[in-house]
């Protein structure tokens, strides 16, 4: 069996002909296996969805309980047979519930890793290396310029700024699923025990994390209805980056604009976005993590998707690995 007989690109996404299922399809299909809850991977309207319990819960929170015709929860490491094809889910270290999906058939193993990172993250299970013949990797930050510093060092920058400017509020942009909760947890781990103020768009998902045993400390709504601007002096406020241009952001006193993203490595990007305090915190592997992970899987063939495909394909070829870009469309990660 050739790898492309087991998984191939279709307009809807990655498809398994013998198993008759899709992985992270971008449009509605009969059977979808979903790696994680970010909106470009987890879409509503499939007839049946197989995913981890957390990913199913997150999809229900975002799309409503009827987001799919039927759902099945996959326990990590459990093998499930779909038309004779064995599939299993393994932690990806990206966000809560995120999983790589291993597909095995006739002695061939392909791992579709979805989005992943190797840096420690106290809000989700750590990435597990799954030996395979073909490894499908993301390439969001697949250029040598992307090297993510330890996330706790970046949080240290934020806390020093809060200390230095006690009269100003600190407005931290972070994606609502995963990044925001990671920033909250990192602040707690660094000893920050004051309330953290959050935008309404991240309240339910943060509550869900807390309910899953991830202690984010005291979270308060970032609203001024009951008080005044001065209430937020010295406060840390976390909101989705898209809200920073809104009226919402103007209620805070002389805010220090901050943004937690792997893209903050690019100074120009931070400047253009008006980001005063860039924090290089990413939920995707950097160049070194991607390269190390590919080697650790022992795969002899690598398929590269969503991001800087060409650079990583070239690196694989120099390492003597067969590699190709998958050219899947529709993945523009919300959680970078």
Residues that bind Zn ion (CB under 5 A): 38, 115, 333, 335
Give all strands of the β-sheet with 99-105 in edge-to-edge order.
Answer: 80-82, 85-91, 99-105, 108-112, 134-139, 301-307, 322-325
**Cβ nearer to Zn ion, comparing 55 with 257:** 55
Residue with tokens 């805070």: 252
**Cβ nearer to Zn ion, comparing 239 with 262:** 262
Q: State the nearest-atom distance from the C-beta of 68 to Zn ion, in Å.
A: 19
- In three-state secondary structure terms, 47 is strand
> Which secondary structure element, helix H or strand E, spans residue 203, and what is its range?
helix 203-211
13-16/8-10 β-pairing: antiparallel
> Which secondary structure element, helix H or strand E, spans residue 235, and what is its range?
none
Instruction: List the structure tokens of 23.
Output: 């992985």
The answer to whether residues 7 and 21 touch, using CB atoms and an 8 Å cutoff, is: no
β strands within 170-327, DSSP E: 170-173, 196-198, 219-221, 236-239, 256-260, 277-279, 301-307, 322-325
Q: State the nearest-atom distance from the C-beta of 215 to Zn ion, in Å.
A: 23
Instruction: List the structure tokens of 240.
Output: 């989705």
Q: State the nearest-atom distance from the C-beta of 128 to Zn ion, in Å.
A: 17
Instruction: List the structure tokens of 60.
Output: 């229900």
Q: How many CB atoms lie within 10 A of CB 101?
A: 28
**Cβ nearer to Zn ion, comparing 38 with 43:** 38
Q: State the nearest-atom distance from the C-beta of 22 to Zn ion, in Å.
A: 17
**Cβ nearer to Zn ion, comparing 94 with 251:** 94
Q: State the nearest-atom distance from the C-beta of 155 to Zn ion, in Å.
A: 21
**Cβ nearer to Zn ion, comparing 42 with 198:** 42
What is the DSSP-derived secondary structure letter of residue 332?
-
Q: State the nearest-atom distance from the C-beta of 174 to Zn ion, in Å.
A: 13
**Cβ nearer to Zn ion, comparing 76 with 159:** 76
Of the candidates 299, 305, 293, the one whose C-alpha atom is nearest the C-alpha of residue 330 is: 305
Cross-strand pairs, 9: 14
The separation between CA 315 and the C-alpha centre of its own chain, rounded to angstroms, equals: 24
Q: State the nearest-atom distance from the C-beta of 234 to Zn ion, in Å.
A: 32
**Cβ nearer to Zn ion, comparing 79 with 242:** 242
The three state secondary structure string of 105-170 is ECCEEEEECCCCCCCCCCCCCCCCCCCCCEEEEEECCCCCCCCCCCHHHHHHHHHHHHHHCCCCCE
Q: State the nearest-atom distance from the C-beta of 100 to Zn ion, in Å.
A: 12
**Cβ nearer to Zn ion, comparing 55 with 206:** 55
């Amino acid at each position: 069996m050739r790898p492309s007989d087991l998984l191939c690109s279709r307009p809807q996404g990655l498809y398994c002909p013998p198993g008759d299922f899709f992985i992270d399809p971008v449009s509605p299909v009969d059977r979808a296996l979903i790696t994680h809850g970010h909106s470009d991977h987890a879409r509503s309207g499939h007839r049946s969805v197989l995913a981890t319990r957390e990913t199913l819960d997150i999809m229900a929170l975002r799309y409503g309980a009827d987001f799919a015709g039927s759902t099945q929860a996959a326990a990590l490491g459990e093998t499930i047979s779909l038309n004779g094809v064995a599939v299993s889910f393994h932690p990806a270290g990206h966000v809560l519930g995120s999983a790589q999906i291993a597909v095995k058939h006739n002695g061939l193993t392909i791992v579709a890793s979805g989005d992943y990172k190797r840096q420690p993250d106290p809000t989700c299970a750590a990435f597990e290396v799954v030996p395979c013949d073909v490894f499908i990797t993301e390439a969001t930050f697949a250029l040598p310029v992307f090297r993510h510093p330890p996330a706790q060092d970046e949080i240290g920058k934020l806390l020093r700024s809060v200390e230095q400017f006690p009269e100003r509020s600190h407005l931290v942009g972070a994606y609502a699923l995963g990044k925001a909760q990671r920033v909250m947890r990192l602040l707690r781990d660094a000893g920050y025990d004051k309330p953290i103020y959050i935008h309404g768009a991240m309240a339910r998902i943060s509550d869900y994390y807390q309910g899953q045993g991830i202690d984010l400390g005291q979270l308060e709504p970032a609203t001024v209805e009951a008080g005044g601007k001065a209430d937020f002096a010295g406060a840390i406020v976390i909101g989705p980056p898209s809200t920073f241009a809104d009226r919402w952001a103007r209620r805070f006193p002389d805010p220090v604009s901050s943004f937690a993203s792997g893209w903050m490595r690019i100074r120009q990007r931070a400047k253009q976005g008006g980001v005063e305090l860039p924090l290089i915190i990413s939920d995707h592997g950097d160049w070194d993590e991607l390269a190390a992970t590919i080697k650790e899987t022992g795969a002899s063939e690598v398929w590269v998707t969503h991001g800087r495909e060409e650079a990583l394909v070239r690196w694989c070829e120099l390492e003597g690995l067969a590699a190709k870009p998958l050219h899947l469309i529709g993945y523009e990660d919300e959680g970078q």
